[in-house]
Amino acid sequence: MATLGYSPNSFGEWQEQPEFRDPPLELSGAADNWNFREDDSDYYTQPGKLFRLMNKAQQQALFENTARAMGDAPEFIKIRHIENCLKADPAYGKGVADALGISLDKLN
């Protein structure tokens, strides 16, 4: 398997490594690492709105492109992606599941 270049991922690669973090810098006070996740936990509203802006043909292209791009990814990762899509919009999640040939019954 190739090295994964994104985080978070399901294989524990490229995880945050606090021991390699830059030390705080003295400016006019202490500057430290900013964790964008602390004040941004809404990952689904914007993709849902974008999905709903698409016409049916664009949505179908999205489903098919997603399925093709996921290729031979393990099924548990495909299921996790479907779950994320469902959170953005139920039709988005169902369309991706159908394109991947995975029943929504397999989801948690």
Q: Which amino acid is at 39?
A: D
Q: List, for residues 39-96, the tens digit of each pLDDT value.
A: 777 889 999 999 999 999 999 999 999 999 999 999 999 999 999 999 999 999 999 9
What's residue 71's pLDDT? 92
Quick: pLDDT tens for 9-49. 888 777 777 788 888 877 887 778 878 777 777 889 999 99
Model pTM above 0.85:
no
CA distance 7 to 17: 12
Residue 50: closest CA among 59, 42, 41, 39:
59
Assess contact for 82 and 100: CB atoms under 8 A. yes
